[in-house]
Chains A and B, each alone.
Chain A
Amino acid sequence: MEDGVVVPIRSDRDIIIARHEGRRIAAEIGFSGSDLTLIATAISELARNILKFAAIGEIVVTAVQNTPRRGISIAAKDEGPGIADIPLAMKDGYSTSFGLGLGLPGTKRIMDEFNIKSGVGQGTIVIVKKWLPLQ
């Protein structure tokens, strides 16, 4: 795995920067059209979760290769309170804040891979990936 681009998330303006960086790197990897929008949307939701639940954190965007497939990995990390019940947080319609409860399950739907690691007091890491279709 190559070194990723790190975007610190501290305010709502950083969401725009993270989205922009993600779109730029995804385009470099070879993604186009609606995939670029899906990737930017996933970054937006993940960055928003960081702000909402942990106040600060970071988004790391990395080009990844799983020969012969090329893709993009987006990691959202924070050292916030963590998630006590991950299956509940992954349920459509569940939200602890004034949201739609679509953040995590929605993000999982629009990406190819979704991994979450979290525990109370241990922060949260969400890593999502999308792969380019094979030529």
Chain B
Amino acid sequence: MEVPILKQGDFLIATLQAALSDEDLTNLRDALVDRVGKARSRGVIVDVTALDVMDSFAARTLRALAHMVKLRGAETVIVGIQPEVAFSMVQLGLTLEEVKTALDLEEGLSLLGLTTKGAGSGGRGRRSHTI
């Protein structure tokens, strides 16, 4: 199941589904790192609201994604970690250190807007399309 990537202004948005396989996640990581260049994006939002489990592999892959995107000159924000998932991650000992997080998509966009100095602010919901 391929994760669709939306372009909104200077940002890319990927929304994960619940039943995401390891391969889907690593494919998404590679696709985002690639498209940050093609779309000349300043920021990436990965929405994990639908994710019911964040295990060690998912956390490691998201950390790698954020790091790779950073090396390509863009910022990543993980949004939508559910309370139960956050609880479980802490119990398991998983961290997303050095990765920015926000409550939801709206907060994530606003955080990216500030971090990337307003490069992609405005146009919310108007210029969405798949690339």
Structural contact, A12 and B52, CB atoms closer than 8 A: no
Q: How far is the CA of A38 from the CA of B85 in the complex (A)?
A: 8
- Contact call A48/B92, Cβ cutoff below 8 A: no
Interface pick from A78-86, A99-107, A121-129 = A99-107
Chain A interface category by residue count: 20 to 34
Any chain B CB within 8 A of the CB of A110? yes
Select the residue from B22, B53, B59, B93 with max chain A CB neighbours within 10 A.
Answer: B53
Q: Which of B19, B54, B93 contacts A109 (CB 8 A)?
A: B93
A16: contacting residue among B21, B60, B94, CB under 8 A: B21
The verdict on A87 contacting chain B, using a C-beta distance below 8 Å, is no
How many chain B residues sit at the interface, stated as a range, is 20 to 34
Interface string of B57-72 (1 = CB under 8 A from A): 1011000000000000
Which one, A19, A33, A103, A109, contacts B53 given CB within 8 A?
A19
Asked if A109 and B21 make an inter-chain contact with CB atoms under 8 angstroms apart, the answer reads no
Task: State A109–B94 Cα separation when bound (angstroms).
Answer: 12
Q: Does B55 contact A (CB under 8 A)?
A: yes
Is B115 part of the contact surface with A, judged by Cβ < 8 Å? no
Closest approach, in angstroms, between the C-beta of A17 and any C-beta of chain B?
9
